[in-house]
Amino acid sequence: MFRGTLIRSGNNAKTVKGDGEYETAIMYLAPFTLAGFNVCAMASTAGCVAGCLNTAGRGRMNNVQIARINKTKRYINDRAAFMAELVADLEGFVAYCKRKGVKPAVRLNGTSDIQWEVAHPVFREITKVHPQQESPVRFASVFHAFPEVQFYDYTKVYKRVYRELPSNYSLVLSYSEANRAYADAVITAALDTGANVAVVYRDKATRDALASPALEGRGGVIQNTLHGTCESLSREVFNGDETDLRFLDPKGVIVGLYAKGAAKGDRSGFVLG
């Protein structure tokens, strides 16, 4: 288990399933507007506020909520200091993974949807790796500063998948039918870019009815169709609950998840079935 000030590994039941070749560290901030600033730009439109996993597991504890709010306020009030803190955590995690003999994977948006690939430059000391390089070096993003780390996230900000993302950053679109225009935009983005789409189903039985073990040993061969106003998306359903390592998923699939925590009672359209 790695315990940084912003990112931690080993405390998420789903990511632990994928531990072996990789170990995943996640950063949890206070979602939506809980810290006084919206870090989930599409949350209201996509209808995922009530069903957010922010209060799942240890998230229901008051001290955990306070810690997430405080981290988010640091991000809002002093971005440069926050990014320096993140760099220090990432360096610590990389060293931890090297000692353990595993590959580092990181999710920066555990309970947020920040566009880390734009307007988030960082500085990193790299003289130990490149002694002749003037240091610290300014990088356009943490992804560029840490090419040895595999980053990945879910996102409802569908415009992000149209960008030329760094090779070590993988994004999965998050679907919702709470807003027809939003659902249409996600379907269009998936058709345009080939990005995978995560869909939350009502329960395991609903997900399992669509996902069979035939695809890579844990996904599905049954086509599920997301119907848009003008276009539809018909894809095989892959069981996304076996592990959280979305960057290893087959390309061009629906990543099937089942509702957990507050999402079990969601009737907005965020959860299907």
Mean pLDDT check: name the lowest of 115-124, 161-170, 214-223: 214-223
Amino acid at site 11: N
Q: What is the pLDDT of residue 56?
A: 61
For the chain, the structural domain boundaries read: 7-268
Mean pLDDT of 30-35: 91
Question: pLDDT tier at 218 (50, 70, 90 boundaries)?
Answer: very low
Region 28-32 average pLDDT: 93
Dist CA 53 CA 109 (whole Å):
12
Say if residues 263 and 207 touch (Cβ distance below 8 Å). Answer: no
- 253 phi and psi, to 5 degrees? -125, 165
| pLDDT at res. 193 | 98
Of the two residues 95 and 20, the one the predictor is more confident about is: 95
Percentage of residues in the chain with pLDDT exceeding 70? Answer: 86
Answer whether the bond into residue 136 is a cis peptide, omega within 30°. yes
pLDDT in tens, 105-158: 999 999 999 999 999 999 999 866 566 666 789 999 999 999 999 999 999 999
pLDDT one-digit tens code per residue, 63-120: 888 999 999 999 999 999 999 999 999 999 999 999 999 999 999 999 999 999 999 9
CA torsion sign, 257 to 259 to 260 to 262?
Answer: positive
DSSP secondary structure of 75-104:
HHH-HHHHHHHHHHHHHHHHHHHHHHT-EE
* Highest mean pLDDT: which range of 214-228, 236-250, 252-266: 236-250
Residue 30 region, left (φ>0) first, then alpha (ψ -120 to 50), else beta? beta
